[in-house]
Structure 1
Amino acid sequence: MPVIFLLSLALQIACAVHVVRSGRPLYWIWLLLIGSYLAVIVYVVVAVIPDLRHDPRGRKAASKLVQTIDPQRRRRELQRKLELANTVENRRRLAEESLQLGDFQNAQELYRSLLAGMYATEPDFMLGLAQAQAGNGDFADARQTLEQLIQANPNYKSSDGHLLYARCLEQLGDKEKALQEYRVLADSYPGEEGRYRYASLLKDTQRHAEAREVLQNQLNRAKLMPRYYRQKEQGWLKAAKLALAELGDA
């Protein structure tokens, strides 16, 4: 059976399923069966594409595809907006995007420009600056920024900020204090990174039995979590499995 026929049949079936699920008139199915590729093209243009525009999942998938093809596109758009209007909001959005893309130097400059006037101690901006500093390997500066953040905003809570502070301590050689912070994060951080980093530092400091226990408990706990959670955290869970295998049996 020719491949072109099989492809046409698959597209017709997919569109027919869309007709039924979207509640469109059933005459579309007959048109699809009769019209083959031409009918499929027409249906996609008049029905599927408009649906995707109004479907949050469709918009999200399209946005993700565009981001994969051209990861710098959003930053260029944000840069143009900033050039048109140099507002705090536009600088914040560009700073966040630069941080996301790993352009830590530009992110630092933008966050520093935001930390002025009435926003001089804005905690989210200070945390962004600390994240950019850590991304550049400036862990001493990042630690100082985080300590200034807490001093200026004693009631501010951030799991990401807490984790970053623990990482700074570890990178700067204060491993005992880092372990204390990671111990708290192992129970409080909303994800697997806190538990993994705690176990990893225990392993690095030759506390193998404790590391093994943390990793085993982490993996056992993950089995009880919903599938979407395990998929979201699969990178850290794979790292935990590898670290546990390296530790071997007690």
Structure 2
Amino acid sequence: MILIVASLCVQILCAIHVIRSSRNQIWLLFIMLFSLLGCFAYLMLEVLPQHWNNRHVRTARAQVVGKVDPERAVRDAQRNLDLAETAANYIALGDAQAIRHRYADAESAYRKALAMGPGGDWGTQVKMAGVLFERGESAEALRLLDAAPELGMGSERDRRALLRARILADLGRAAEARLLFEDVIERIAGEEARCHYVAFLLQQGDRYRARSILEEVERRAKRMDLTQRAAQADMYRWAGEQLAELRKV
């Protein structure tokens, strides 16, 4: 009995999806005639192919792969490097190591890539500034970042600005860091910049501003689906915990 009820519920949900998404009405016939088999065919042949290349789905898939086999990216990068010792392959290895928080290994790979290149690879130099910051070498990271040429408006410029704000905060230049954080959170996509700013504000003791930003993060998160939030689940969990503590106060 329970299986029959569950089957009917699945059929109804799939039928509603067909109607609301304006799919070919022939799917209603398949769903009603073949029950769960028809629902499975609808999901596999009609729904999943459309969403498989969605950016959020790709990100979620990458997260799952990263949890199941966290060393896969490192292995793939090392395998490519064994086949061809190029600057691009060293950069890929550095990226993979940085994601695994092995910043010393990432720095080594980036330095080899820079040594092999013709010079002027500012993108890799900025990446190395990021891993130096993570290793606690903020002064050297800022020097590298300052040496990189200015960029026009765009996401890369905003990512550099976020890194600079975090470095300035680490160097104790709080006033400069705050101005830069306030500027960049208005432009950069996603909530990572806001969460980094909140961490800085909490260190500075500004609970009021931290709470207002976290409430904005919460409002935005409620408008996302589970796939979108899953890509940065740890960050949203941290934000929720911090907001709960601030509301207690």
TM-score when normalising by structure 2: 0.67
> Larger RCO: Structure 1 or Structure 2 (Cα < 8 Å, ≥ 6 residues apart)?
2
> Can you give the 5+ residue segments of structure 1 that lack an aligned partner in the other structure?
1-12, 24-51
1:246 corresponding residue in structure 2: 245
- Counting only pairs closer than 5 Å after superposition, residues 102-121 of structure 1 correspond to structure 2 as 102-116=101-115, 119-121=118-120
Instruction: Report the 3-state secondary structure (helix = DSSP H, G, I; strand = E; otherwise coil) of the residue aligned with 2:186.
Output: helix
2:183 corresponding residue in structure 1: 184
2:151 corresponding residue in structure 1: 155
2:28 corresponding residue in structure 1: none
1:187–1:195: 8 Å Cα contact kept in structure 2? no
How big is the shift at 1:126?
A: 1.0
Instruction: Report the 3-state secondary structure (helix = DSSP H, G, I; strand = E; otherwise coil) of the residue aligned with 2:144.
Output: helix
How big is the shift at 1:215?
A: 2.5
How big is the shift at 1:129?
A: 0.7
- 2:142 is aligned with what amino acid? R
1:216 corresponding residue in structure 2: 215
TM-score when normalising by structure 1: 0.67
**Cα distance in 1 between the residues matched to 2:129 and 2:74:** 21
Instruction: Report the 3-state secondary structure (helix = DSSP H, G, I; strand = E; otherwise coil) of the residue aligned with 1:240.
Output: helix
| Superimposed CA distance per residue, residues 163-203 of structure 1 (whole angstroms, 9 cap, x where no aligned partner) | 22111111111111111111112212211121222233223
Q: Which of residues 214, 221, 224 in structure 2 aligns to 1:226?
A: 224
Q: From the superposition, tell whether residues 14 and 103 of structure 1 become closer, same or farther in structure 2 (CA, over 3 Å).
A: farther
Q: From the superposition, tell whether residues 120 and 68 of structure 1 become closer, same or farther in structure 2 (CA, over 3 Å).
A: same
Count of residue correspondences: 211
Identity %: 25
**Cα distance in 1 between the residues matched to 2:217 and 2:43:** 40
**Cα distance in 2 between the residues matched to 1:217 and 1:198:** 13
**Cα distance in 2 between the residues matched to 1:130 and 1:18:** 49
- 1:162 is aligned with what amino acid? A
Q: From the superposition, tell whether residues 95 and 188 of structure 1 become closer, same or farther in structure 2 (CA, over 3 Å).
A: same
- 2:110 is aligned with what amino acid? Y
Q: From the superposition, tell whether residues 175 and 117 of structure 1 become closer, same or farther in structure 2 (CA, over 3 Å).
A: same
**Cα distance in 2 between the residues matched to 1:122 and 1:195:** 29
- Counting only pairs closer than 5 Å after superposition, residues 13-32 of structure 1 correspond to structure 2 as 18=40
Is it true that 1:132 corresponds to 2:128 in the alignment? Answer: no
Q: From the superposition, tell whether residues 96 and 17 of structure 1 become closer, same or farther in structure 2 (CA, over 3 Å).
A: same
Instruction: Please tell me the root mean square deviation across aligned C-alpha atoms, in Å.
Output: 3.8
**Cα distance in 1 between the residues matched to 2:188 and 2:126:** 16
**Cα distance in 2 between the residues matched to 1:59 and 1:191:** 16
The farther-off stretch of 69-78 and 97-106 is 69-78
> Can you give the 5+ residue segments of structure 2 that lack an aligned partner in the other structure?
1-34
**Cα distance in 2 between the residues matched to 1:201 and 1:61:** 28
2:214–2:243: 8 Å Cα contact kept in structure 1? yes
- Counting only pairs closer than 5 Å after superposition, residues 65-144 of structure 1 correspond to structure 2 as 67-116=66-115, 119-144=118-143
- 1:215 is aligned with what amino acid? L
| Superimposed CA distance per residue, residues 100-145 of structure 1 (whole angstroms, 9 cap, x where no aligned partner) | 2222112111211222475422122012211221232222221221
2:195–2:214: 8 Å Cα contact kept in structure 1? yes
How big is the shift at 1:249?
A: 6.7
